[in-house]
Structure 1
């Protein structure tokens, strides 16, 4: 839509529309509605956002996500713009949990406001103030990466908005060039470009537990140390500014596993980051202090801090209690950033079994009860082929099987003594390709609840799971 508005780029438009016409680009009703609107000008009269995309979405950001996806459809022409899209309650992120100071949320919401005002017409464009116009331009021009913060979705929304405000501004032309340069071989554009820092922390942790060569592990850790941010955390990609608990937890866990003495200074800085973001309830959010805490982030932070538990006993005790309070009766937790129920079970179990004394002693019975509930769930959810799916009854996939095995190994279950683990490992090994790799359907989501595919994740989780099931690692 942006290229058509600007004219030119005929070959690029052809390639993009060719991709949109493929089944891969139209898997969900939301995807299909976008593609059909762009390709053929078709409109829809069904609520693909509320009835499908967000039907099972239980998260504090749901009002903002509803607005974001509705505006995507409206910009594509699948649905009309409506005045309710300009209501402050739907555009101010503080109404949903206080995370409006995350820089990409600020830019996305400002872009949405501009797009809705221009889409509605009727003089509403006058509601966009000069300060808002200037702020949008400042934000768009502020990223050191060619594609803004390595986040094409946010970059594209901002370009669409700025193109309506100042179509000849250099940021628009340069931004279009940057977006076109990041197209994948299939002709499409990814929702995010760079997860190198996140991947390195996860891969380093898996390789360390697999006893990889020290020289390799040191290179990985040196990379992480070099990219630690001033606040002590890490960003998920390079040339970014905003740290997150998820990436920071894996990076710190990697450094602590490889050599906590050599990396003590970085680990102490990371501890300061975690201490600065922890919530009043003892849990950890993803991005900003004051946002609601999340199980995956809380579990990751505990696992990252446990290397020096004596210095962080207060954080570990509060976080552990928050995890235990968050457990559902059936042994599951919220899914959050993953489609798989087993992901947060693993991260919670990993955290709870990383606790040092005296926290472990004080919470022993509650941890035992949590173990029993999660074990019952995983035993029931295991398919006859030995694997696990995203949710009970779903077909087995490699990633969910890895998460389940990681949860079991965190609880002390091992290949040589446990039939559930043996069946899971047997299934996992049967899914390996001749070149040593594994494949799985997308499991991670971002922006939630949209799934995205990073193939290397699958190999990382497999390596981590296999080392956990057949070792004496103290999770």
Structure 2
């Protein structure tokens, strides 16, 4: 729609249209509605956002996501613009939803697009337009903060009132430069920092060549942000707890002495962003805490556990309080129930002895038993696990489940459940040694995106964890 409205680059537009016509591009009702509107001008007669895409989505960003996805549909003509879209979206219900820069940019873009779509463009102030241009021009990456969806929304908005601005042509060039071989555009244009952390962790567990591991760690330390954290991609300006957790865990596993300076700065980052409730948010201090982020931060901090006993103890209590009665946790950034079970269990079982002994041992035992029961009951007859109980087995969920069970001390050589899971996982290995999985990661939540390298990372991490009693936190516990 951006290229059509601009009337330029017909060859590139045809390439994008060819991708939209594929089954892969229309896998969900929401995707199909967008594609059919762009390809054939068809309108959507059902509420694919409320009834499908956001069904069961229990998150503080729900109202904002509802508006965002409705506007996506309206921009391509699948649904009409509605006056209700102009109403400002409240922040989190508890008022703690801070503004990350891309949320501000998306919010401004939505305001411009809706006002223009309703013929009320004059209601957008000059200051708002200027701020949107300022934000769009602030990124060092070719695609704004490596976030394709936000970048595209901003370009669609700016084109409404400043179509000849140099940022539009520059932004389109950046978008086209990140297209995949299949002709489609990824929702994130660069995940190199984020993927290097867990990849290094998995390779360290597999006892890869030290020279390779040191090169990976040097890459990570060179990209540590001024605040001590890491961003998910290169040339970005905003760190996040997820990327920071994996990066710090990798450095601590490979050589905590060599990387002591980077790890000390990382600890300061975690201490600076932790919530008053003891949990960790994804992006901003004061945002609601999340299980995956808290689990990751705890696992990264355990390399120096006694020095952070207060931080670890508070996070452990928050995780224990966040567990559901059936042993699960919120899913958040993954479709798989097992993802946050793994991250919570790995965190809780990596706690140094002084923290575990501080009145948490009994609660930890009960929490582990509940998650263990859930995973055993959710296991499919083929030995694998699906996103949720009853879903077909998928590679990623099987890896997460095995990682969770290994965190609780279950090993392939003495546990039939783990043995069957590993056997199932090995049947999914491709001839080249890699693994292929269903898309599992979600961003912007709850839209799926596929980063194939994660399949190999989770498989290697799961196999090495299930096959060894070695614990990467052992140095902190000795």
Q: TM-score range by the shorter chain?
A: over 0.9
Paired with 1:440 and 1:97, the residues of 2 have a C-alpha distance of 38
Any idea what the Cα deviations from partners look like across 1:60-100, whole Å, max 9, x if unmatched? 00000000000000000010111111112x2x546675444
Q: 1:365 aligns with which of 313, 338, 362?
A: 362
Deviation at 1:139, TM superposition (A): 0.5
Question: Counterpart in 1 of 2:108?
Answer: 110
The runs of 5 or more residues in structure 1 that have no matched partner are none
Would you say the 8 A contact 1:342–1:403 is kept in 2?
yes
State whether structure 2 residue 279 is matched by structure 1 residue 268.
no
Write out aligned runs for 1:359-398 (5 A): 359-361=355-357, 362-398=359-395
Corresponding residue for residue 101 of structure 1: 99
1:411 to 403, 408, 420: 408
Q: How much has 1:152 moved relative to structure 2?
A: 1.2
| Secondary structure of residue in 2 paired with 1:466 | helix
Deviation at 1:117, TM superposition (A): 0.5
| Correspondent of 1:458 among 446, 455, 458 | 455
Q: 1:327 aligns with which of 323, 326, 334?
A: 323
User: Quick check: 1:191 aligned with 2:191?
Assistant: no
Q: Does 1:85 find its partner at 2:101?
A: no
Determine the structure 1 residue equivalent to 2:476. Answer: none
CA contact (8 A) 2:412 2:418 kept: yes
My pick for the range that moved more, 19-28 or 441-450, is 19-28
Deviation at 1:227, TM superposition (A): 0.4
1:336 aligns with 2:332: yes
Spell out structure 1 runs of 4+ moving beyond 4 A: 94-97
Determine helix, strand or coil for the equivalent of 1:288.
Answer: coil
Matches within 5 A, 1:210-229: 210-229=206-225
| CA distance 1:68–1:212, change in 2 (3 Å) | same
Are 1:25 and 2:25 counterparts? yes
**Residue 205 (str. 1) matches residue 208 (str. 2):** no
Instruction: Give the structure-1-normalised TM-score.
Output: 0.98
When the two structures are superposed, what TM-score results if normalisation uses the length of structure 2?
0.97
Paired residue for 2:423, among 423, 426, 432? 426
- Partners of 2:37 and 2:78 within 8 A in 1: yes
* Matched residue count: 471
Residue from 290, 295, 315 that aligns with 1:294: 290
Shift of 1:309: 0.8
- How far apart are 1:11 and its partner, in Å? 1.2
- Residue 261 of structure 1 aligns to a residue in which SS? coil
- Look up the match of 2:10: 10
Shift of 1:180: 1.4
Q: Would the aligned equivalents of 1:303 and 1:350 in 2 still touch at CA under 8 Å?
A: yes
Higher alpha-carbon deviation: 8-17 or 425-434:
8-17
Corresponding position: 1:61 with 2:64 = no
Matching residue of 2:306: 310
On the 8 A contact 2:61/2:92 being kept in 1, the answer is no
Distance in 2 (CA, whole Å) between partners of 1:402 and 1:183 is 29
Q: Which residue of structure 1 aligns with residue 438 of structure 2?
A: 441
Residues 97 and 291 in structure 1, CA contact (< 8 A), matched pair in contact too? no
Matched, 1:72 2:94: no
For residues 386 and 334 of structure 1, the distance between their equivalents in structure 2, rounded to whole angstroms, comes to 24
Quick check: 2:98–2:284 contact (8 Å CA) kept in 1? no
CA contact (8 A) 2:395 2:436 kept: yes
SS of the aligned residue for 1:358 comes to: helix
1:156 equivalent in alignment to 2:152: yes
The question of whether the paired residues in 2 share the 8 Å contact of 1:296 and 1:344 is answered with yes
Please name the residue that 1:120 is paired with. Answer: 118
Residue 50 of structure 1 aligns with which residue?
50
Question: Does 1:284 find its partner at 2:295?
Answer: no
